[in-house]
Amino acid sequence: MQKKISNTEKLVRQFLQKTSNLKNGIKPVKVLKARVYQIGTANVLIRAASEGNRRYLYGINYITIEEMANLSNPYIAFICGSIDKTLILPAQLLFNNLHNISHDRNGEYKITIDQDLNIALKGRGNRLNCMEYINNWNILIYPINQDVGSIEPVEKSMHSILQGRLIEIGNYRNYHTYCPDKSKIFNSKYLSEISSLKKCPELQFSDYGLLRNIDVLWFKEKGNNLIPEKAFEVELSTGTWSGVGRMSTLMDYSNVDFYIISNALKKYNKVINTFPVLKERFTHIKTDLIGDLYSAEKNILELRYSIGL
């Protein structure tokens, strides 16, 4: 018996069919959990809603919107009951207006689109005018204010996102944070701007050439010195060997915990089981769990600030 296709799934398929006529090379973006497709040079998150009663409702998590806004040439397509009523919105525009959109404590934003295909904002009658993005299919062919040659692969952008989140989590917990990739960008800021340390501390019992190239480091103060506490390597397109090799320069510091951030658990196990002496010191974390932790830490800080406790 053939499985029944939902109305929203039909709309998504119609979207992909229509865009395939505009641009060849449509493929799913597997690095992200959300339904994102690479259409030409555009990265597009597709959301669909059946015909609504004067409005269309979408729930999107903060993490998903943030990830989209940090990709190259990103868009969020809202299909409003019909493929002929599609809002193709630059992801950064939505991200910049999140402060005016209601959300729950879990970071789930309630996107409401009215009959005129404008997004409802906080305040009576307040709307984000989206007229220029209605059925604007050509926007997927010609990037907005972006040189095609500067568009990064999703894996490279996601690497910077994970580094940025790890730095921010460390900052939230009052660690001194360091990242070697100063020119990479997360939420419109260079990683060097959000890292509290501009230069990696030199340590007596480590190879500085390896130490200063670890993706993210957290340090604590001890007297006049900075002592390493946690080290992170993000492995999305490369193997685990290089990350383990760099972090191993800190093995003489028995208090340091090591983390490999990836979705390749089998590769991780193959490497780490080769070195039993390292196994107890290393932990593997899936990429989406870093997003969950980052969101939770961010939300608790905002809650503490809002209630003054």
Lowest mean pLDDT among 133-137, 149-153, 182-186, 251-255: 149-153
**Would you place residue 290 in the very low, low, confident or very high pLDDT band (cuts 50, 70, 90)?**
very high
Per-residue model confidence as pLDDT tens digits over 188-236: 999 999 999 999 999 999 999 999 999 999 999 998 899 999 999 999 8
Question: What integer is the mean pLDDT of 98-122?
Answer: 93
* pTM as predicted: 0.92
In 3-state terms, what secondary structure has residue 116?
coil
The pLDDT of residue 146: 58
Per-residue model confidence as pLDDT tens digits over 27-64: 999 888 889 999 988 999 999 998 766 799 999 999 99
Q: Share the mean pLDDT of the chain.
A: 91
Lowest mean pLDDT among 18-22, 70-74, 100-104, 296-300: 18-22
- Give all domains of the chain, ordered by start, each with its CATH number: 7-150 (3.40.1350), 154-307 (no CATH)
Question: What integer is the mean pLDDT of 65-69?
Answer: 96
**Would you place residue 149 in the very low, low, confident or very high pLDDT band (cuts 50, 70, 90)?**
low
The pLDDT of residue 306: 85
The pLDDT of residue 234: 95
Q: Are 179 and 202 in contact (CB under 8 A)?
A: no
Amino acid identity, position 152? E
The pLDDT of residue 40: 87
Lowest mean pLDDT among 229-233, 272-276, 279-283, 288-292: 272-276
Higher pLDDT, residue 150 or 148:
150
User: Which element (helix H / strand E) includes 228?
Assistant: strand 225-234
Long-range CB contacts (< 8 A, 24+ apart) of 190-199? 191/160, 191/163, 191/164, 191/167, 194/164, 194/167, 194/168, 195/167, 196/171, 197/226
The pLDDT of residue 276: 79
Question: What integer is the mean pLDDT of 302-309?
Answer: 87
**Token digits for 261?**
């951030």
**Would you place residue 237 in the very low, low, confident or very high pLDDT band (cuts 50, 70, 90)?**
confident
Share of the chain above pLDDT 90, in %: 70
Please give the sequence-ordered ranges of beta strands (E in DSSP) within 30-136, or none if there are none: 36-39, 42-49, 55-61, 74-80, 86-90, 108-114, 119-120, 127-128
The pLDDT of residue 147: 55
**Would you place residue 87 in the very low, low, confident or very high pLDDT band (cuts 50, 70, 90)?**
very high
Residue 307 burial (10 A CB sphere; 0-12, 13-18, 19+): exposed
